[in-house]
């Protein structure tokens, strides 16, 4: 019952609220992925060491759009993940959009959700279309860890040495809440779940084996866009292959020293992902745009079924996907048994093992062509990179799930159905 002391203005506001809440809700638009591409993932200080992230992303955007068969005039917004933006210049996503040939009327937003930035960017792009705000949006991510600067304080002390900080560590690989490296957080998870060094080494070796088998079989060829990199002398180099998977002697993996805990540590340089450079992009379209342009025949044509984010204690970030995955499955109306393939980012082998154990996942369905341990982990791109790889691996009618943890204790997950 309304209070007898309600003012006329309050009554008018109440009637407005009731009128608004009683209005019929618009139907959410279905969202489809109609194009996807990624650059190769180069090693730290490898082939892309002098190629800025926005330039890498421009190649991925251009290729994804060409594969969609849509014209550059159609996308109205670009969302790109990027974690280490220092020194890149204003609005890295805007740079990538313009460098790719999109019109200057196409807006762009740079997204930083640490390792989940690329996948979150796709989720944000999908939401614009779902709400009817756009009919074509691009999502993806980019990172060049090789070009990240070291930092000096703006106001140095009057006397004595000045300590430079590595931007990769400070803004990408450091847990600010516990003041430890991300690897120490993963060590904490390994200890909590009794994940041994052998468990992690075996997982890493399998990731390398799957990646090499996939490359040998040509399974990555379709998703990669070759990038020409100018050289000081001679013709430009054409970079079209991931660089990490062939750069290790797997027989030496069990002999390496722990990287984060000297005594009793289980995580090494080999069973953790590597610093990397790369970019990835996906073109999203509404149902009406798909129908108008007959996009059902594109190679990666798929429906975005659901997306979800979840978070836990920052030190437990490796376990955040164990919260996001059940949530996205609930939103999709699916059980884990309905999912044909999963891509779960391998920030560390311990992350893969932990999520398998907690959720009871079938390893034969996860990262079937290798993961970040073997393929590399270009932070801002990794979330969208795993989605690109998932789409090219799925068969018609199959459901796929991509999930990735991020520093600070978060995770993002997304379910698609290949059509």
Q: What is the 3-state secondary structure (H, E, C) of 202-263?
A: HHHHHHHHHHHHHHHCCCCCCCECCEEECCCCCCCEEECCCCCCCCCCHHHHHHCCCCCCCC
Q: Would the pTM of this model clear 0.85, i.e. be above it?
A: yes
The confidence score (pLDDT) of residue 1 equals: 42
Average pLDDT, the chain: 94
The confidence score (pLDDT) of residue 12 equals: 60
The confidence score (pLDDT) of residue 373 equals: 98
The confidence score (pLDDT) of residue 109 equals: 98
> Mapping DSSP to helix (H, G, I), strand (E, B) and coil, where does residue 365 land?
helix
pLDDT digits (tens, 9 = 90+) for 72-94: 999 999 999 999 999 999 999 99
> Mapping DSSP to helix (H, G, I), strand (E, B) and coil, where does residue 39 land?
coil
Residue 119 has pLDDT above 60, yes or no: yes
Q: What is the 3-state secondary structure (H, E, C) of 255-292?
A: HCCCCCCCCCCCCCCCCECCEEEEEEEEEEEEHHHHHH
pLDDT digits (tens, 9 = 90+) for 256-287: 999 999 999 999 999 999 999 999 999 999 99
On whether the CB atoms of residues 30 and 299 are closer than 8 A, the answer is no
Question: What's the average model confidence in pLDDT over 228-236?
Answer: 94
The confidence score (pLDDT) of residue 158 equals: 82
Q: How far is CA 145 from CA 9, 86, 111, 317, in A?
A: 57, 11, 16, 21
pLDDT digits (tens, 9 = 90+) for 159-175: 888 899 999 999 999 99
Residue 2 has pLDDT above 90, yes or no: no
Residue 217 has pLDDT above 50, yes or no: yes
Q: Which residues are catalytic?
A: 115, 377, 405
The confidence score (pLDDT) of residue 27 equals: 83
Percent of the chain surpassing pLDDT 70: 94
The confidence score (pLDDT) of residue 66 equals: 98
pLDDT digits (tens, 9 = 90+) for 345-369: 999 999 999 999 999 999 999 999 9
Question: In 3D, which of 341, 319, 284, 315 has the Cα closest to residue 138?
Answer: 284
Residue 14 has pLDDT above 60, yes or no: no
The confidence score (pLDDT) of residue 122 equals: 98
pLDDT digits (tens, 9 = 90+) for 290-306: 999 999 989 999 999 99
The confidence score (pLDDT) of residue 123 equals: 98
């Amino acid at each position: 019952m309304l209070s007898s002391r309600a003012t006329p203005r309050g009554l008018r506001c109440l009637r407005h609220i009731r009128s608004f809440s009683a209005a019929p809700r618009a139907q959410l638009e279905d969202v489809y992925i109609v194009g996807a591409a990624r650059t190769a993932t180069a090693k730290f200080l490898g082939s892309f060491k002098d190629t800025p992230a926005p330039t890498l992303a421009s190649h991925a955007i251009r290729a994804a759009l060409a594969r969609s068969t849509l014209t550059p005039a159609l996308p109205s917004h670009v969302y790109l993940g990027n974690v280490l933006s220092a020194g890149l210049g204003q609005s890295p996503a805007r740079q990538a959009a313009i460098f790719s040939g999109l019109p200057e009327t196409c807006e762009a937003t740079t997204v930083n959700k640490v390792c989940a930035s690329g996948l979150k960017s796709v989720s944000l792009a999908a939401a614009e279309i779902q709400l009817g705000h756009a009919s074509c949006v691009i999502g993806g991510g980019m990172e060049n860890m090789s070009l990240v600067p070291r930092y000096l304080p703006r106001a140095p002390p009057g006397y004595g040495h000045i300590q430079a900080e590595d931007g990769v560590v400070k803004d990408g690989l450091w847990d600010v809440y516990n003041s430890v490296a991300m690897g120490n957080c993963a060590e904490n998870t390994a200890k909590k779940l009794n994940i041994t060094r052998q468990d992690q080494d075996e997982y890493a070796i399998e990731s390398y084996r799957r990646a090499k088998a996939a490359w040998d079989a040509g399974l990555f060829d379709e998703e990669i866009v070759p990038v020409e990199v100018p050289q000081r002398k001679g013709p430009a180099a054409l970079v079209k292959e991931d660089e990490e998977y062939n750069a290790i002697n797997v027989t030496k993996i069990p002999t390496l020293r722990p990287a984060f805990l000297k005594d009793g540590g289980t995580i090494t340089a080999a069973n953790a992902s590597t610093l990397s450079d790369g970019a990835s992009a996906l073109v999203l379209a509404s149902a009406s745009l798909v129908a108008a342009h007959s996009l059902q025949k594109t190679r990666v044509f798929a429906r975005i079924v659901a997306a979800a984010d979840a978070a836990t204690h920052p030190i437990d970030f490796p376990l955040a996907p164990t919260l996001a995955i059940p949530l996205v499955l609930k939103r999709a109306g699916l059980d884990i048994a309905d999912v044909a393939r999963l891509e779960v980012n391998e920030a560390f082998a311990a992350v893969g093992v932990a999520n398998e154990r907690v959720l009871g996942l079938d390893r034969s369905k996860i990262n079937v062509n290798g993961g970040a341990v073997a393929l590399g982990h270009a932070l801002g791109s990794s979330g969208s990179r795993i989605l690109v790889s998932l789409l090219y691996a799925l068969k018609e009618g199959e459901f796929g799930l991509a999930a990735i943890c991020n520093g600070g204790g978060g995770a993002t997950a997304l379910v698609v159905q290949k059509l």
